[in-house]
Structure formats: C-alpha cells, structure tokens
Amino acid sequence: MSDQPVVLPPAISSPPPPAPKNFFRGPNGIRAGWRVLIFVLIVAALFVTLSVVAGLLFRGRVQPTVSLLTPLGLSLTEASLFVVFSIAALIMARIEGRKYGQYGLPGKFAFRKDFWIGICVGFLAISGALLGIFALHGFHLTGIATHGNTLVAATAAWCATFVIVGLAEEFSFRGYLQFTLTEGIGFWPTAILLSALFGLAHASNPGETKFGLLSVVLFGLLFCLFLRRTGNLWWAVGFHAGWDWGQTFFYGVSDSGIPPYHNLFNSAFHGPQWLTGGSVGPEASIFTPIALGVVAMLFSRVYRTSDLRP
C-alpha cells in the first residue's frame, strides 16, 4: 500500500438558503406594498417637517391667495415637492440596495436627447391644440405682453421653472411609486392608478372642471407610455416642461383657471366651453385629448418596443 496521504476533494459549499417568504417578505425582499407604505410615511414626515419649519419662518404673516402663476412661487412649490420625494427615494434606495437612477431619472441620460425631443414635442402639442381652437375661431393672440429686459428675465425664469415642474411632477407620480408598484401589480395597472391620483391631485386647482381633470389623467397615461418605451422619465420631463412653457409663458393662456405672470403673448378665447376649455384654459378643450392622442400614436410608431434602461 502507498504511504501517500489521500487527498479528498474540496467540500462543495451549498448556497445560502433563500430568505423565508412571509407576509412582509417576498422573493425580491420586502414586498412592494410595504416598501410603498414606508416611502409614503417618509414623504409625509418630510412634508410635516417642512411645514413646521415654514410655519416658524413665516409666523404671523398672511398667506397670499393664488391669483397669478409666477416663476418664483411655482418654482418654490415644485422644488419642495421634488426635494422631498428625492430624499425619500434616496432613503429607499439605501434600504433596497439600489441606485436612485433606477427610479426613473438616471444621471447618464439627464438633459440629453430624450429630454430635448420631449421639450420640442410638448411645445408642438400645445401649439397644435391651440391651432385647432383657432381654426374654429375660438382663440387668437392679441399682442405682446412683455418687452425689453423684463422679457429676457421672464423667458429665463419660466424656462427654469417648468424644468423644475417637469422633474417634480414626473418623479412624484412616475418615479419611485411607479417602479415599486410595478413589481407588485404590473406596469399598466400601476400607471392607471397613479394617473388617476395625478388627476385627483389637480382637483383642488381653482377653476378646474371634470373634463380638465380627465385631460390630466390622459397626460399621466401618456407620460407612462413615454416611460415604458424609453425606460426613463427624461422624455416625459421634457414634454411636460415644453407643454407648460408653451401654454403659460409663450401663449399666455390660463392653467387650471390661473392666468400667468410676465408671459410673452396676450391671448383671448371665444366660444363654447368644449372648444376653448372655459375658465380652465386649453387643457379642458376637446383639442387637448386629440393632441395627446396624436402624440401617443406617433410616439408609438417611432418607439416600438420597451427599452427599460437602468
């Protein structure tokens, strides 16, 4: 017999057992519903903190009523929304072991081609809706409202403001919540739910109507289509900014019944509410769903397959 020691094969280490599934955990970790609840609680806590701080800073001052859309007022409101939801998403990213960009705003696509195409298409879409109203003698421009240095400052201010609006509203309704709920109930059921909430969030706007709210829901579904086909929110952010900039600053028409401040053109509407949108503005006109439908069809022909890029 040989005196050489017998070399045994190395032990094959078995993979660690998967975490047990229960009411709180699923195959992908904490279940989507619980993660959404944690996220909402964080958002609520941040808003309460922000409200307390604002109350201390502005104690005793009368809160002004909203009678005009201004770049400063809108920027502060929407920036606060974006910061709160972003902080909550960053906290959830640490909990879940993900990157912030996975929730819809990847940095490598920031302000690149998709964003600028969205800007242009958004502006063309509101222009098309107003052109339809004009063709039926319901809308016309009455002159230039802002001149000189004020016009230069207003142009820059409104550009920055509506980029903030696009970022805030898209990330709030189609960022973390869309990403997480999709794991639980699927993309389009989530899109329908969040688009309905998007419409409900606009219900408190002064002068809003049922048809105007329906248009807001359709906007939400269109933005979800952009997200589904491009894999991120930058197309939607651009479209949102381009539409709002064209509507509020360039054409100077009301948004949910609130007239703009330091807009480029003055304008006037004449005719029935279904045509002009009435007190709401063109978003409640029959031509807004038509414009959104045309955009959806053309977009779907160009972006034929989903590209869920991280």
Q: Residue 193: name the closest of 236, 168, 235, 224 by CA.
A: 224
pLDDT at 58: 74
Q: Identify whether 4 is part of a domain.
A: no
Q: Identify whether 118 is part of a domain.
A: yes
User: Is the pLDDT confidence value at 47 over 80?
Assistant: yes
The string of pLDDT tens digits covering residues 235-269 is 999 999 999 999 999 999 988 778 888 999 999 99
Q: Identify whether 233 is part of a domain.
A: yes
User: Is the pLDDT confidence value at 104 over 70?
Assistant: yes
Where do the H-state alpha helices sit in the chain? 32-57, 71-96, 113-135, 148-174, 176-185, 187-201, 210-230, 234-244, 273-276, 287-302
The mean of the pLDDT values for the chain is 89
Query: 310: pLDDT confidence band, cut at 50, 70 and 90?
Result: very low
Percent of the chain exceeding pLDDT 90 equals: 72
User: Is the pLDDT confidence value at 215 over 90?
Assistant: yes
Q: Identify whether 228 is part of a domain.
A: yes
| C-alpha to C-alpha distance for 65 and 275, rounded to whole angstroms | 29
| C-alpha to C-alpha distance for 215 and 288, rounded to whole angstroms | 7
Q: Which residue has the higher pLDDT, 30 or 173?
A: 173
Q: Identify whether 307 is part of a domain.
A: no
Mean pLDDT lowest for which of 57-61, 116-120, 222-226, 282-286? Answer: 57-61
State the total domains in the chain. 1
Predicted TM-score of the model (pTM): 0.88
3-state secondary structure of 29: strand
The string of pLDDT tens digits covering residues 93-103 is 999 999 999 99
pLDDT at 257: 76
| C-alpha to C-alpha distance for 203 and 253, rounded to whole angstroms | 19
| C-alpha to C-alpha distance for 262 and 68, rounded to whole angstroms | 10
Q: Which domain holds residue 40?
A: 27-59+67-302
Q: Identify whether 5 is part of a domain.
A: no
User: Is the pLDDT confidence value at 22 over 80?
Assistant: no
Q: Identify whether 169 is part of a domain.
A: yes
Structure tokens at 268: 């006037």
User: Is the pLDDT confidence value at 202 over 80?
Assistant: yes
Q: Identify whether 223 is part of a domain.
A: yes
pLDDT at 67: 54
Query: 309: pLDDT confidence band, cut at 50, 70 and 90?
Result: very low
